[in-house]
Structure 1
Amino acid sequence: MKILVTGGGGFIGSQLVETLLAEGHTPIILDNFSNGRKENLPEGVICYRRNLLSDKVERIFKKEKPDIVMHLAAQVSVAKSLENPADDAAVNVLGTVKLLGYSVKYGVKKFIFSSSSAVYGTTDEVLTEESATSPISFYGTSKLVSESYIKLFGTSYGLPYTILRYANVYGPKQRSDGEGGVISIFIQQLLNNETPVIYGDGTQTRDFVYVEDVARANLLAIDNANNEIINIGTNSQTSINLLYTLLSSKLDKPGTPDYQGTRDGDIKHSHLSNAKALDILKWEPQYDLIKGLEKTVEYFRDKA
């Protein structure tokens, strides 16, 4: 199948492109490379450098006529969403709506959307897809609003969809600058003999899911879970303190992190049930945290 991957040059998107190629699909990349990197992509892949809001995006649909749209492109920084909610909404909401309109107009068979556990907000419960949604950041709100548009396009225009709500994704090629995830940031700081910063007391927890597992979830969504919302996580939670201990041990970099104040928009706990993913998407994670960290640390060591 011909599959348009928005954000295909990014951390998750580029892994997805490799997965699609391995399965015999033809990925078409749409990315403005504000977060992604051209060097993440395999040689010879068709790539369009465009902003999501550009009217030129419609030409890609008209020319390529993709069978599937996998929409990963987004403004992903919670901090930036708080600083400039209008820009966050423009990219994440309006960008999604424009893609949905083109998908209907040009006969796309399915729309697969990368959402986030940020839609749930703060809770100590194990989160199922039926859990209440109450985001505490504009980023989470933009994802939740996008989900509503996707569902309405499904009911109004018959556009099949699958919405994947990711836990905290990590792995090789994740950025270790301000837009990176905590794992890549900690690894890079430890390799540079810097002191990692933990915001809060470190008892906050996250459900960490490896990037190859996330790519495989998108692949399975092509033929499964029509018109469903699916959590993509490991059904476990790890504290930031434990994560730091594991990484400092693996890198043989003993020391004490720098504890600073909590940040606005940060969720205290995140733990996603993946029962529905197993039942409907036929997906379960292949990587536990230890195995995933080993591969991630190896990548950053080789790159250093």
Structure 2
Amino acid sequence: MRVLITGGAGFIGSHIVDAHIEKGDDVLIIDNLSTGFEENINKKASFEKIDIIDDLHNIFESFRPQIVNHHAAQINVRRSEKDPIYDARNNIIGTINLLLLAKKYQVEHFIFASSGGTVYGEAEILPTAEDYHLNPLSPYGCSKVAGEFYIRSLLKDSGIKYTVLRYGNIYGPRQNPLSEAGVIVIFITSILKGEVCTIFGDGEQTRDYLHVYDCVAANLLALDHPPGIYNIGTGIETSVNQLIEILKEIVGRDFEYQHGPPRPEEIRKSCLDWKRAREVLNWRPRTSLRSGIAETYRYYSSI
């Protein structure tokens, strides 16, 4: 299988690359390395350093991908607030560029990484199912919703299958500690450096944390099951304060932490209903939060 993976030098994308290489697939990575790292790139994969908004015709012409797995994105919510044009250029125009090429070269299946943590906004029903109304509160969330609608619009009646995966908060090895989305890894690196962990607000804001290996499993299962829109999470709310307590247990000692001012744009609670993924994709989260954080702590302790 010829698989083109955008963002394949990044956190989630590089793990998906590894999984396809292990399956024996022919993998081509597209990444501009703005947030990805060369050391994440599997040596058995081909690599093109290029932006998804650039002219990619020659790449599609020569590689002829059967699968496009689209993970390249601007993922910083605060940057999307400060520079929504930059966010839209990457997340909307870049996605459209890929969709038009997927149609032209008759890709078999298009997988899109969306954001279950932002597309529903401040949902009144938790865990939140896929049929809950979309209400993004940030330009980043808007760009993900727009991507989903462009996929439906441009790929309808094309014969191309498409799957949208709405992720919870993914964490694990290779996550960039400078990324705002990676609170678990941010805390771990602060602890290892002897720095103070900062909790924004009262720490009672919740997220649905999913280990990256479970996320990868959903991407692979999507290829062999009916296309559609799927929440990929655990259905469990975990507060930032609870993360601190779990980390204390894992580290085996106290560490310094402080409360900073709340982030005004931050969603208070987020949690995903993954029943559809269980019933249709035969997928389930298999990594408990405590064991996943412990494995992630060991990883960052060793590098």
Match of 1:153 in 2: 154
One-letter amino acid matched to 2:210: V
Match of 2:235 in 1: 235
How far residue 68 of structure 1 moved from its aligned partner, in angstroms, is 0.4
1:67 and 2:66 matched: yes
Match of 2:294 in 1: 294
Match of 1:115 in 2: 114
How far residue 253 of structure 1 moved from its aligned partner, in angstroms, is 4.0
- The Cα offsets for residues 150-182 of structure 1, whole Å up to 9 and x where unpaired, read as 011232433210000000000011011144500
Structure 1 stretches of 4+ with a deviation exceeding 6 A read none
- The Cα offsets for residues 114-170 of structure 1, whole Å up to 9 and x where unpaired, read as 000110101242100001110111100000000000011232433210000000000
How far residue 223 of structure 1 moved from its aligned partner, in angstroms, is 1.6
CA distance in 2, matches of 1:41, 1:52: 17
How far residue 24 of structure 1 moved from its aligned partner, in angstroms, is 1.8
Structure 1: tracts of 5 or more residues without a match: none
- The Cα offsets for residues 2-40 of structure 1, whole Å up to 9 and x where unpaired, read as 100000000000111111111221211000011111101
Match of 1:187 in 2: 188
Q: Is the 8 A contact 2:4 2:65 kept in 1?
A: yes
How far residue 256 of structure 1 moved from its aligned partner, in angstroms, is 4.8
Secondary structure in 1 matching 2:302: helix
Aligned residues: CA RMSD: 1.2
CA distance in 1, matches of 2:109, 2:254: 48
- The Cα offsets for residues 83-121 of structure 1, whole Å up to 9 and x where unpaired, read as 100110010001000100000001100100000011010
How far residue 260 of structure 1 moved from its aligned partner, in angstroms, is 1.4
CA distance in 1, matches of 2:253, 2:94: 43
CA distance in 2, matches of 1:19, 1:208: 21
Q: Is the 8 A contact 2:206 2:269 kept in 1?
A: yes
1:107-256 correspondence runs (5 A): 107-117=106-116, 118-125=118-125, 126-179=127-180, 181-226=182-227, 228-256=228-256
Match of 1:83 in 2: 82
CA distance in 2, matches of 1:133, 1:278: 22
How far residue 255 of structure 1 moved from its aligned partner, in angstroms, is 3.8
How far residue 294 of structure 1 moved from its aligned partner, in angstroms, is 1.4
CA distance in 2, matches of 1:262, 1:87: 25
Secondary structure in 2 matching 1:99: helix
Structure 2: tracts of 5 or more residues without a match: none
CA distance in 1, matches of 2:255, 2:298: 21
Quick one: percent identity of the two aligned structures? 39
Between the two proteins, the alignment pairs up a number of residues equal to 301
TM-score calculated relative to the size of structure 1: 0.96
CA distance in 2, matches of 1:225, 1:165: 16
CA distance in 2, matches of 1:45, 1:70: 14
CA distance in 2, matches of 1:114, 1:98: 16
TM-score calculated relative to the size of structure 2: 0.97
